[in-house]
Amino acid sequence: MRRIELDPTMAKIAELHHQLYLREMHRINDQMDKLVIDKRRDGAYDLGRLLDGLADHAVARVAPGEWSASQSISERVGREPHPGYAFVPVSPGALYGQRDLNVAVASAGGFLVATDNPGDLFVAALRNASVMERLGVARLPTAGDAVVPRATGSVSTQWLINELSSITESAHVFAAAAATPKSVAAYCEVSGTLLKQTTRAGQNFILGEMARAVAETYDGALINGSGASGQPTGILNTPGIGSEAGASIAWSGILNMIATVETAKGLVTPEAGGWAVNPASAKILRGRERATGSGFIMDAGEIADYRALSTGSVPAGTAIFGDWSRVFSLEWGVLEVGADPYGVNSTLFTKNLVGVRAIWSCDVLLLSPVSFSAATSIT
């Protein structure tokens, strides 16, 4: 091959062009870096940025705003998140199953790609309606294992015959109700492409759906948790609650349930009483008359003048009446979200996927079982 020799002038011009090219490339790279930094500091919460930081073990550098939010929540709840996790500012609300969120399949995540989404509109999955807060269950943030004292007996009273009569001494009787963290969790796999292409509303939608799924599972455990296999003990499985036969239940049976609680002095105030009813059972009660021509058992959101809510969190064929202020929902921290870039057995290593896990630690305390009565097998 013949070698072409440039004269000194042409060689100098070529070197100058090369230097100008390198300078322009450095300028473009600097601008790109500045755009990335500006995006990280734009102040809007970004799930993708948080997951990138968690996956790289550099969340404070990659996602300073999201990490600051986690630290603020950490100070409020009095503890740090699990290693590799971060607290997220969402309200807690069934596993997503084995389906991965990805762009290729529309129903598995492609709908969240921000090409033609109308604004920030996303449709949530259908879930059971929550009864926990609407009926007045108290939420108690806590740190260590909880021991809540409760009175099981009160002082006695007496009439004094005259001013010289002595009062007989009596004392309160107390017992302790204990609670320890029970963790409910959800896991899904999100594609890296999805996190890059979806809007922030779409990213927060993923967080919100995981939170709602976790909360729905906890709502069901508050009602019917077995107390085994990591579950809290729910109202229906707490010894000492009242019971009523649900077969062909009539107005008299409904009144028996209320009387059972009232007779045991289970209502702190009348306003605290309420019903939680399975939807199929609610259908029966809405169509069954108290007496001929006197109206239906469940009518206008009430049963016997007490508010009544229908939810699938209550088991089939069941209705529960009680004082919901006597139920405490204990919460250890808030929903925690962690990202695993490699997945179980490194199955995500060869894929553009990030494993996302949400965990919420909580427990249920029913301070006075006599405050509740349940009818089962309603027909």
Task: Give the confidence band of 211 by pLDDT, cuts at 50, 70, 90.
Answer: confident
Beta strand segments in 217-352, E? 242-245, 273-277, 298-299, 302-303, 306-310, 319-323, 327-340
Interatomic CA distance for residues 335 and 250, integer angstroms: 42
In the predicted structure, residue 346 carries a pLDDT above the cut 50? yes
Specify the pLDDT at position 16: 64
Residue 240 or 92, more confident:
240
Domain boundaries, the chain: 9-87, 88-379
> Does CATH place domain 88-379 in 3.40.190.10?
no
Q: What is the pLDDT of residues 283-341, one digit of tens each?
A: 999 999 999 999 999 999 999 999 999 999 999 999 999 999 999 888 887 777 776 66
State which H helix or E strand residue 147 sits in: strand 146-153
What is the mean pLDDT of the segment spanning 30-59? 62
Task: Name the phi and psi angles at 221, rounded to 5.
Answer: -70, -35
Q: 249-292 pLDDT, tens per residue?
A: 999 999 999 999 999 989 888 888 999 999 999 999 999 999 99
Greatest extent of the chain over all pairs of C-alpha atoms, in Å: 131
Mean pLDDT throughout 178-190?
A: 85
